[in-house]
Amino acid sequence: MDTASDESVRKHVRVYVTVFVALMALTIITVTISTLHLDTTTAIIVALSIAALKASLVAAYFMHLISEKKLIYAALTLTAVLFLALMLLPVSHFADRGL
């Protein structure tokens, strides 16, 4: 039993190392792209997409969200909805002012 669980942890470790390499590569890519000084809209879309990808890797593998229980997913879904509402507040403010 112990040997089996050891083997599964070792598999995890290999994944952690791969994710680490991916995170480093994405950091280099995002910094390199920022030196190109793209127009603001493109720069925001590219930088935030890379950040979202990095965050997903951390959440999925380091925080084990890829195999978590339903209740945790439910709590995080609610959090995501409320977070989205917070992010949309500035948009509604400017829509209200007709900008």
Separation CA 26–CA 34 (nearest Å): 12
Determine the 3-state secondary structure of 82 from DSSP. helix
Interaction between residue 86 and another protein (CB under 8 A): yes
Residues whose CB is less than 8 angstroms from the CB of residue 96 and which lie 6 or more positions away in sequence, other chains included:
none
Separation CA 38–CA 31 (nearest Å): 12
Interaction between residue 66 and another protein (CB under 8 A): no
Residue of 1, 40, 67, 96 interacting with another protein (CB under 8 A)? 40
User: Rule CB under 8 A: which residues touch another protein?
Assistant: 2, 5-6, 9-10, 12-13, 16-17, 19-20, 23-24, 27, 30-31, 34, 40, 43-44, 47-48, 50-51, 54-55, 58-59, 62-63, 69-72, 75-76, 78-79, 82-83, 86-87, 89-90, 93-94
